[in-house]
């Protein structure tokens, strides 16, 4: 059975330990502890988790900023915010970070596990929060209406590649397959596939060769070798 890889981030050591214990008891989860004083994005880059739990005191906004960085740099990773007791304003700000869910830290074990499963399966439990918070739903709707009324178009934003993604794309440009890159970097082939998927999404590329062409055109990678084998898997 393929496990759901979950990273738990929270500055409160005892709370983090409790969440880790709850999830570690479930065989479906592969749980990774992350002290927020560590290089958080580096840990995420190295592990490419399916879900990240961000324990946040939303009043400080530092948690919100971390959520934005994760959702922007790692679009394949789903972010769930765990907050003491999010009010309407805080929930609205969480929605703006592109997090898929916002739970109270007082939520029960089963609710937490269920939310992680939903996020992993591509669902957005945060939408259920809008049903219970009509004021927040109205603000979200007004924001969309405001954008539409002044004729703004949502532009495609290319998220910056991480150092690891740039490295992998350079190897792809040199004709290496996923298996070969995994051997060179001494990480699993599945991790390479996850990185490649993130690269394609960030660059809005159709395939590996398209991604390489975009990167070379914009000067993000430099290689002397042709990438005629870039579409190799």
**Going edge to edge, which strands form the sheet with 101-104?**
29-34, 4-9, 51-55, 78-83, 101-104
**Burial annotation 55-76 (CB, 10 A radius, 16+ → b, else e):** bbebeeeebbebbeebbebbee
- Give dist(CA 13, CA 195) in Å, integer: 30
pLDDT at 142: 62
Beta-bridged to residue 102, according to DSSP, are 81
What is the CA 57 to chain-centroid distance, rounded? 20
**Domain range 155-233, its CATH number among 3.30.70.120, 1.10.150.20, 1.10.10.10, 3.30.70.270:** 1.10.10.10
Domain locations in the chain as residue ranges: 4-149, 155-233
Average pLDDT over residues 177-199: 90
Residue 30 above 90 pLDDT? yes
**Domain range 4-149, its CATH number among 3.30.565.10, 1.10.10.10, 3.40.50.2300, 3.40.50.2000:** 3.40.50.2300
- Give dist(CA 191, CA 33) in Å, integer: 19
Residue 29 above 60 pLDDT? yes
pLDDT digits 0-9 by tens, 69-110: 898 888 889 999 998 877 777 788 888 888 888 888 888 999
Q: At 116, is the pLDDT very low, low, confident or very high (cuts 50, 70, 90)?
A: very high
Query: Identical fold at 4-149 and 155-233?
Result: no
pTM: 0.64
């Amino acid at each position: 059975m393929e496990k759901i890889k979950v990273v738990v981030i929270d500055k409160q050591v005892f709370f983090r330990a409790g969440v880790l214990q709850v999830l570690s008891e479930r065989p479906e989860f592969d749980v990774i502890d992350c002290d927020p004083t560590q290089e958080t994005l580096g840990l995420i880059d190295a592990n490419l988790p399916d879900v990240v739990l961000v324990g946040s005191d939303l009043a400080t906004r530092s948690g919100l900023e971390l959520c934005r960085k994760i959702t922007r740099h790692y679009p394949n990773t789903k972010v769930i915010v765990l907050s003491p007791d999010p009010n309407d304003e805080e929930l609205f700000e969480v929605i703006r970070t592109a997090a898929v869910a916002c739970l109270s830290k007082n939520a029960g074990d089963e609710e937490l596990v269920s939310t992680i499963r939903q996020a992993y399966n591509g669902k957005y439990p945060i939408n259920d929060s809008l049903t219970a918070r009509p004021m927040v739903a109205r603000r979200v709707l007004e924001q969309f209406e405001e954008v539409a009324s002044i004729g703004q178009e949502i532009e495609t934003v290319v998220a910056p590649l991480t150092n690891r993604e740039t490295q992998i794309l350079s190897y792809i440009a040199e004709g290496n397959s996923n298996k070969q890159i995994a051997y060179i970097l001494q990480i699993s082939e599945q991790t390479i596939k996850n990185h490649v998927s993130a690269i394609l999404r960030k660059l809005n590329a159709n395939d590996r060769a398209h991604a390489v062409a975009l990167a070379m055109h914009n000067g993000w990678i430099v290689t002397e070798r042709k990438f005629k084998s870039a579409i190799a898997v």
